Amino acid sequence: MTSTVPPVSSASGVDPAALELSARPNSLGRYGQFGGQYVPETLIPALAELERAAAEAWADPAFTERLNHLLKNYVGRPSPLYEAERLTEHYRRPEGGPRIWLKREDLNHTGAHKINNALGQALLALRMGKKRIIAETGAGQHGVATATVCARFGLDCVVYMGAEDMRRQALNVFRMRLLGARVQPVTAGTATLKDATSEAIRDWVTNVESTHYILGSVAGPHPFPMLVRDFHAVIGEEARQQCQEAFGRLPDVLVACVGGGSNAMGLFHPFVQDTAVRLVGVEAAGDGVASGRHAATITEGRVGVLHGAMSLLLQDEEGQVQEAHSISAGLDYPGVGPEHSYLKTIGRAEYGAVTDAEALDALQLLCRLEGIIPALETAHAFAWLEKLCPTLAPGTEVVVNLSGRGDKDVNTVADRLGDQLTG
Amino acid sequence: MRNAAATTADVTSADVTHAAVTNASPIQQRFAQLHDQGRCALMPFLMAGDPELAVTRSSLLALEAAGADLIELGIPYSDPLADGPVIQAAASRALAAATTPGRVLEMLRSLQGELTIPVILFTYSNPLLNRGMEAFCREAAAAGAAGLVVPDLPLEEAETLSAIAAGHGLDLVLLVAPTTPPERMARIAASSRGFTYLVSVTGVTGVRTTIESRVADLVRQLKALGPTPVAVGFGISGPEQARQVRDWGADGAIVGSALVKVMAEADGGGQDVAAAAGRFCGELRAALDA
């Protein structure tokens, strides 16, 4: 155990009106001061079209039936809520401890939560008559999910990926190519997720009349943060019902990793108005927040604009966006979804950060105790349990979003652990 | 100058422009003069600090001497979403040379009395918001800037900034794209100050070999909406295309990537960058006046 102890929840003091759905976002696409549409004029009509198409789709039983059918039979939902008995035992104190449950998004088709959104947006693209799909990807999980649904529906697919991330996530690059997608390396800037996102937006500005952009996180201009959240809300909706079945009440604490924040938002969303449920997001502290080499946007960022939204942002004193650092390509992003900035600012959700080393330890712990290799992104959520669990009363029910599996990260982990692993 | 009468077809833009000239901003005055002379405005874009601010300074003077009517001056930003590779690279070079908004404004201030044509600052939202809208506009005006273009600040986000800018005598210029629907185009044209910036392509900035012919219709549509001058930019690569947009009725031609490229090539070849900028500007001027 190191550094800070998380604060005890005080979300009960939050103004209920601020938690209403109509405030997240409001009619202008804002979550408080956050969100909005800071994009070139060329895209504004496409964003309006997308918002309209999404509203019509959600109101159309044929759309929701098709989505639910595919979520069940193609994705494999519902994903289990699994009681992690040995992990629970690990954090047990003499007087007892919290009980830890895992929401198994790693068991979805393609191995992560990302497919929920990719599938939903692909169905929207079909409704809008757009036959070409673009996406950005960091760890490659969203790229693989997008390539997968494009193959499934016969759509052209181009995935923008930072050259550095292509190196780190070579397996996922191959998977995308196998699925028929073109993976476009991005060498600009830091050659990571931020630059891949910029390049995807530039492609969209250029080809907006033929192309839909399947943005992979709860980031970007309105309506993307809302749209992506709504497609991932199935995670929280299922968890809510599964908690009732498993222990007859709502959970006490939800924990999820946050890069852009899509898996966290998907889990949190159906619980936002239940202020007794603590919402905990875990960011990547890289080499440590004090080192300056990190991706802890909510912990360290200031209000700014990146990729079309106002949110918290890692930036220098002149407003230039700073490079983020994380062992996890999916968290290696200097921005964060606007709704997270909002939930943090109004005091509804709490956020912490763990280092690369802490995430690696947590990854190994989950391997050894539960026989599950989590993604490096996901391992950050587990690393926070080290700080969180000792503060929780016996009998506290904790749900951790196991957002993705770690096969893609085995090479990175091997590089870092090398001969430390024996057996 | 954007009054109700302007919407009727029998009021020409010239009538309205003359009527308003007394309270006109430097940008409006410049367009009014050019209109009287029957000329199309030449508006080069260059990136401040590429390769260094001293070169930008001498280039600005060279551009004015070579016949530029207004200048769009880019403030470099780390994540320029609306820019293609040429201007992205220029921004990277400028940032590597430690260019900051403050240093750009300082350089601009040093030109007061020397540079007489209006300078419009091109900046993305984040550096502007980081400084604060009020402070940014105050400092920009004090440095002698005449207007602002913020390519990632669409109409919905622009109202507040436009009012603050106007309070400091700065025109906030808004952009119209080929994808903009007619009703929205009318609202943008009504809110834009100084001129309306017509983006000639569905895409990012860059050098292109041809200008889409639908630009002619867009210019016509925009001109029919009122007296605000229309300048066309994004993708004008040289004298021929500048003349083309003039012939389509545009009040101004904005040339960015092509000039930035000429300057970068001159710098790479060890030549005088300002002189190269001036030469290219002279060719554009000749084409527009021919």
**DSSP three-state, residue A285:** strand
Q: Does B106 touch chain A (CB under 8 A)?
A: no
* 3-class DSSP assignment, residue A49: helix
What residues in A contact B48, CB-CB < 8 Å? none
**How far is residue A366's CA from residue A373's CA, in Å, rounded to a whole number?**
7
Are B126 and A306 in contact (CB < 8 Å)? yes
Active-site residue set of B: 72, 83
Query: Would the CB atoms of B152 and A198 count as touching at under 8 Å?
Result: no
Question: What pLDDT score does B213 carry?
Answer: 81
A249-297 tens-digit pLDDT: 999 999 999 999 999 999 999 999 999 999 999 999 999 999 999 999 9
| CA distances from residue B107 to B19, B54, B77, B115 in whole angstroms, order as listed | 35, 8, 17, 11
Query: What confidence score (pLDDT) does residue A258 get?
Result: 98
Size of interface A-B (CB pairs under 8 A): 118
Print pLDDT tens along chain B (290 aa).
334 333 333 444 444 444 444 579 999 999 999 999 999 999 999 999 999 999 999 999 999 999 999 999 999 999 999 999 999 999 999 999 999 999 999 999 999 999 999 999 999 999 999 999 999 999 999 999 999 999 999 898 899 999 999 999 999 999 999 999 999 999 999 999 999 999 998 888 888 877 778 899 999 999 999 999 999 999 899 999 999 999 999 999 999 999 999 999 999 999 999 999 999 999 999 999 99
Tens-digit pLDDT profile for residues B133-173: 999 999 999 999 999 999 999 898 899 999 999 999 999 99
Summarize pLDDT for A107-116 with one digit per residue, the tens: 999 999 999 9
pLDDT at A13: 82
Instruction: Check CB contact of B129 with chain A, cutoff 8 Å.
Output: yes
* A40 to B78: CB separation less than 8 angstroms, yes or no: no
Q: Which of A267, A285, A386, A373 is nearest to A331 (CA)?
A: A285
pLDDT of B13: 44
Chain B interface test: which of A26, A34, A39, A41 (most B C-beta within 10 Å): A41
Scanning every residue of chain B, which has its alpha carbon at the shortest distance from the alpha carbon of A323?
A: B78
CB contacts, 8 Å: B127 with chain A: 318-320
Token pair, residue B6, equals 């302007």
**Cross-chain residue pair A208–B81, CB shorter than 8 Å:** no
Per the listing, tokens 């012919």 go with B213
ipTM associated with this complex = 0.91
Say if pTM beats, i.e. exceeds, 0.90. yes
State which residues of chain A have pLDDT below 50: 1-8
Backbone angles phi, psi at A314, to 5 degrees: -85, 115
Spatial distance between the Cα atoms of B219 and B221, rounded to a whole number of angstroms = 5
**Continuous segment of H or E residues that includes residue A300:** helix A297-300
Q: Which helix (H) or strand (E) holds A47?
A: helix A44-58
For residue B200, give both structure tokens: 């000639």
Which of A318, A321, A323, A333 to mutate: most B Cβ within 10 Å?
A318
Q: Which position has the token pair 């039983």? A: A61
Measure the CA–CA gap between A86 and A82, rounded to whole angstroms.
12
Burial class (CB within 10 angstroms; exposed 0-12, middle 13-18, buried 19+) of B270? exposed
pLDDT at B22: 59
Residues of A that are catalytic: 114, 136, 403
Nearest chain A alpha carbon to B93: A189
pLDDT of residue B207: 82
pLDDT at residue B90 in the model: 97
Whether residues A306 and B176 touch (CB distance < 8 A) is answered with no
Contacts 24+ apart (CB under 8 A), A310-316: A310/A33, A310/A34, A310/A35, A310/A36, A310/A38, A310/A338, A310/B129, A311/A34, A311/A35, A311/A219, A311/A335, A311/A336, A311/A337, A311/A338, A311/A340, A311/A341, A312/A336, A312/A340, A312/A341, A312/A344, A313/B126, A315/B126, A315/B130
Q: Does B228 touch chain A (CB under 8 A)?
A: no
| Contact (Cβ atoms closer than 8 angstroms) between residue A271 and residue A277 | yes
The residue behind tokens 């997968």 is A148
Query: Distance from CA of residue B135 to its chain's centroid?
Result: 22
Chain A residue numbers touching B153 (CB-CB < 8 A):
38
DSSP for residue A112: B
What is d(CA A338, CA A30) in angstroms, rounded to the nearest whole number?
A: 8
Residues facing residue A162 across a β-bridge? A186
pLDDT one-digit tens code per residue, B98-138: 999 999 999 999 999 999 999 999 999 999 999 999 999 99
Taking contacts as CB-CB distances below 8 angstroms, the residues of chain A near B100 are 318
Residue B86's pLDDT is: 94
Cis check for the bond before A25: say yes or no (omega within 30 of 0).
yes
Nearest chain A Cα distance for residue B65, angstroms: 32
**Which residue from B minimizes the CA distance to A198?**
B81
A284 with A259: CB under 8 angstroms?
Answer: yes
- Contact with chain A for residue B175, Cβ under 8 A: yes
What integer pLDDT is reported at residue B19 of this predicted model?
42
Closest approach of B77 to chain A, Cα-based (Å) = 6
CB-based contact B177 A194, cutoff 8 Å: no
Nearest neighbour of B131 by CB, restricted to A302, A310, A319:
A319
For residue A184, the chain B residues in CB contact (below 8 A) are none
Q: Which of B131, B2, B154, B156 is nearest to B75 (CA)?
A: B131
Return phi, psi of residue A270, to 5°.
-70, -5
Distance from CA of B153 to the nearest CA of A (A): 5
Residues in chain A closer than 8 A to B128 (CB atoms): 319
pLDDT of the residue at A419: 67
For position A12, what pLDDT does the model report?
65
- Four-point Cα dihedral A110, A112, A117, A123, nearest 10: 10
Q: A-chain residues within 8 Å CB-CB of B205?
A: none
Is B79 touching A (CB cutoff 8 A)?
Answer: yes
Are B223 and B16 in contact by the 8 Å Cβ rule? The answer is no
pLDDT computed for residue A423 by the predictor: 64
Do B234 and B199 meet the contact criterion of CB atoms below 8 Å apart? yes
Cis peptide before B51 (omega within 30 of 0): yes
C-alpha closest to that of A150 among A127, A129, A179: A179
Q: How far is B47 from chain A (nearest CA, A)?
A: 16
